[in-house]
Each structure stands twice: as structure tokens, then as C-alpha cells.
Amino acid sequence: MEGGGAVSDVMTQEAGTDVQQMNMIQAINSAMDVMMERDPTVVVMGEDVGFFGGVFRATAGLQQKYGKNRVFDTPITECGIIGVAVGMGAYGLRPVPEIQFADYIYPALDQLVSEAGRLRYRSAGEFIAPMTVRSPFGGGIFGGQTHSQSPEGIFTHCSGIKTVIPSTPYDAKGLLIAAIEDNDPTIFFEPKRIYNGPFDGEYDTPATSWAGHRDAQVPTGYYRIPLGKARIARAGGALTILCYGTMVHVVEHTVAMLGLDAEIVDLRSLVPLDIETIEASVKKTGRCLIVHEATRTSGFGAELLAQVQERCFHYLEAPIERVTGFDTPYPHSLEWAYFPGPVRIREAINKIMKD
């Protein structure tokens, strides 16, 4: 499915569903609303998610509609939030806890990795942890080192946990519904830089909104996009670019500026990974660039590089390149030097295409 927005074999949708223009926050809110209405076991929890509606307003109105027993505020204790969610899942609920910023998810690592991720295995299938952990992540908002991190690579390393990252309002709703319905724990990272509009990486130009964007046309009712199915954001034959989240839009802009016939693969989910779509694209183009905002060393791009090399070595016409964040804390004063913007992406493309 190119671009998204159309009913296809990667989407299940209820008949008669209207379509509205939504930004990513509204689409995420709609996903939780739909699932809470359909399934009384779905509960939403986290810091300020109830009365306040979340720091980004992603849960606005849900407590008023479903009550304090199903949408409730928690203390500021990430390990407690996730620990309680694990117990809820084991006893039949489907919790959707929010970690207010991904930078603060680390205190909950033991609960996520040692408990949620292994519960099905250690109980021989007797218990499951059907929880979806929502968390805004990534930079581009001058959040500094404690509000800009991209820790997705940590969770892709941990067996039993799924990792999902949308890049459009349309995908955000469909993927979140699929994650909530899934019986395994899912980390759902939301690129906060594109909550209100796509970002092309040109930081010194006016911000744009999702208004009029094809992927902001979101069904108001139930639909799901299965986890583990990538999206061809742009078809092409000269180069494959693998990316996700905010980087999808930065890459699309850079490729358009260069006039390059590149194929852009929006991964959507890192675990499970749609390696079949990746392999088919790289074998077609013979070249591969990987772009992500997280730090370079042991970032998910390293895993992508390894898998592409293993499967496509004899088809490659140039070395695989990566454009990533640097191996430093996310700097406030040097935000745009760290951020993988059009300049660094263009340099990597030129290097690949010269080989």
C-alpha cells in the first residue's frame, strides 16, 4: 500500500465508517476511544492522563466519557505504572499505560523486560501481558537531553516485546488499535515532532500542519493495520531508504529536492519486522540507506544493516550507509547538528550513488 489512506489487504475496517481530518494526537485519541467503547477491559493510565488529558492532550475527554475507573491518573513512578499494568494484563484487562516522555521509561525496564516480556513464556502460556505502552519520543522540539531521546533499540533487543512507531495519523490509529488488541506487550513510540504536522527537517522554515495531507484522512470508527507490515511511502528503483517515524518525512523531502528515484520504506513496526518487503526493495534497487534519529552504536539501524547484508549481499552495488544521531546525549544547543536532517541525508545519498 503506497502512501496509506486506502482500504487494502493490510487493513481491516468496519463498513460505513466516516472519515475525518485528524492530526496524530487526535488519531491516537480516537484509537483509544474506539477500543474503550468496543472492549470494557481496555483501561488507560498514567501521569496526568485523566482530568488533564495528558501533557500532549492525547487522552483528552476519555476520563469524562468512561469514568475514573477506566481512565485514571497515577503517581510519578514509571516502575509502578508498568508493574501495575503487568498485573492488570495477567488478570484479564488490557491496560494502555502512558509514559509521559520516552526519556523516563528507564525506571520501568525491569517490569517491561523481566516481567511483561517473559510472562507468557515463564507461565507456559497460562498468563499473558496484553498491554500497550504509549510514549512520545524523539527530538526536534528543543527538549534537550531529558525530553528528546529515541530508546527504541533497547526494546527491539528484548524478546517478548513488540515495538511500533507510526509516521502518520492514519497509521497511528490503525497501528494503535492493532497493538491494543495484541496479546503481547507492545511499546508504542509516538514521534512528538510530528504530532501536529509532518516535519521535513528544514528547521528554519515555518511549521506545517496535517491539514490537507492525504494520510490525515482518518476513519472515525474501527480499523486496524496489522503489526509487522511495512509501508512503501514512495516507490522507486534507484535506492532503498529504510526509516520510520519523523525520519520518513525528512527523507521524503530530501529525495524530492534531489529528484532521485528512491524507494522509501516506512517500517511502521521494528518488531515484528517486515523483512520480506525490505528484501524485495533492496534486491530491486541494489542500494540501501538507513536513517534513524537514535544513537548510532547498537541502534536499530545496525540490525537492519546486518539483515540486509545477509539477504541481499549479491544484489548490492554499493556499501550500505547509515545516517543517525550521534553517540552523545541529545544536545539542546546543537539540536540541528545532532538531528539527521536533509544535509547529512543528502551527503549519504550522494556517496551511495557515486559507488
Residues that are catalytic? 147
Q: What residue type is assigned to position 348 of the chain? A: A
40: left (phi over 0), alpha (psi -120 to 50) or beta: alpha
Measured at the alpha carbon of residue 162, what is the angle toward residues 159 and 164, in degrees to the nearest 5?
A: 145
Residues 13, 7: contact at Cβ < 8 Å?
yes
- Which DSSP symbol is given to 106? G
Packed helices 246-258 and 342-354: angle between N→C axes, nearest 10 degrees = 60
Phi, psi of 171 (to 5 degrees): -70, -35
Residue 197 identity (one-letter amino acid)? G
Q: Give the C-alpha distances (Å, rounded to integers) separating 222 from 18, 70, 255, 345.
A: 10, 20, 34, 37
Which grid coordinates belong to 187?
Answer: 511499546
User: Are 167 and 173 contacting, i.e. CB atoms less than 8 angstroms apart?
Assistant: no
Q: Provide the 10 A C-beta neighbour count for residue 124.
A: 7
What are phi and psi for residue 115, nearest 5 degrees? -105, -65
| Cβ burial, residue 275 (10 Å; 0-12/13-18/19+) | middle
- Give the whole-angstrom CA distance, residue 274 versus residue 279: 9
Q: What pairs with residue 20 in β-bridges?
A: 218
